């Protein structure tokens, strides 16, 4: 019995993922090209090499890209795993199974970032939440893009939920570009 426990403990330790050692190299090789503070490419508004920014995408709520302890609920992982997703990442490539396993492991273990306060996964099973549409990109007439979840249409405004703090913010639909206006109307259609 004792040796079985030891075996299990070793197996778990061996499969655990460390951000610096296991995750950062995957992101650097496959994602920084388009998502990096250093290269100045912030496609979709995402950067993965600035951890203070990256951490805003990690939270236990419906709009976060990464939900600590919950790989299945993490949109970030879904676009990587699901090759037929309309926003599959990286766009013209598929990560190896080994890389996907490491990312899954890292998220399962809480998606910790070094030097950044750990995101705490809720331990109490939460009541089923009303599922919100995934986070989307919104671009205004000045060409500035933000990411937020669609909440509802309200008169001339679209109410967006900010991923960083869950705050609901009304935004004038007329100030969005044509594509985002269409996205708002479609999301708000009954
Ligand atoms: C060749 C450029 C490119 C590479 C490489 C790339 N991305 Fe992206 N990524 C984009 C673009 C462009 C968007 C915005 C897509 C949109 O909103 O239509 C995006 C959006 C995303 C999103 C948001 C998807 C959504 O549904 O809004 C995530 C998450 C993401 N990327 C993760 C990654 C990860 C992780 C990697 C590396 C494994 C990666 N990307 C590599 C260009 C890239």
Give distance in angstroms: CA of 34 to centre of ligand 1.
7
Give distance in angstroms: CA of 32 to centre of ligand 1.
10
Q: Looking at ligand 1, which atom is closest to the CA of residue 57?
A: 29
Per-residue pLDDT of the chain (190 residues; tens, 9 = 90+): 555 555 555 444 456 899 999 999 999 999 999 999 998 999 888 999 999 889 989 988 878 899 999 999 999 999 999 999 999 999 999 999 999 999 999 999 999 998 876 545 444 444 444 555 578 899 999 898 999 998 899 889 999 988 878 888 899 999 999 999 999 998 888 7
Q: Can you list the pairs that 67-73 forms with residues at least 24 positions away whose Cβ atoms lie under 8 Å?
A: 67/107, 67/111, 67/121, 68/107, 68/110, 68/111, 68/119, 68/120, 68/121, 69/107, 69/108, 69/109, 69/110, 69/111, 69/121, 70/107, 70/108, 70/121, 71/104, 71/107, 71/108
The ligand 1 site (C-beta within 6 Å) comprises 30-31, 33-35, 43-44, 46, 65, 76, 79-80, 87, 89-91, 95, 134, 137
Give distance in angstroms: CA of 13 to centre of ligand 1.
31
């Amino acid at each position: 019995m004792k040796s079985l426990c030891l075996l299990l403990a070793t197996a778990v330790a061996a499969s655990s993922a460390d951000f610096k050692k296991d995750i950062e190299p995957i992101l650097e090789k496959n994602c920084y090209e388009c998502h990096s503070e250093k290269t100045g490419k912030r496609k979709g508004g995402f950067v993965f090499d600035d951890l203070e920014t990256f951490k805003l995408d990690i939270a236990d709520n419906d709009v976060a890209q990464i939900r600590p302890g919950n790989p299945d609920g993490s949109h970030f992982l879904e676009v990587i795993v699901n090759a037929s997703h309309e926003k599959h990442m990286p766009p013209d490539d598929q990560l190896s199974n080994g890389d996907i396993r490491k990312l899954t492991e890292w998220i399962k273990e809480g998606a910790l970032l070094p030097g950044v306060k750990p995101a705490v996964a809720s331990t109490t099973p939460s009541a089923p939440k009303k599922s919100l549409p995934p986070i989307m990109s919104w671009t205004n007439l000045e060409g500035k893009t933000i990411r937020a979840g669609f909440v509802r249409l309200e008169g001339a405004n679209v109410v967006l939920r900010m991923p960083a703090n869950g705050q609901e913010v009304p935004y004038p639909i007329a100030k969005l570009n044509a594509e985002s206006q269409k996205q708002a109307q479609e999301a708000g259609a009954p």
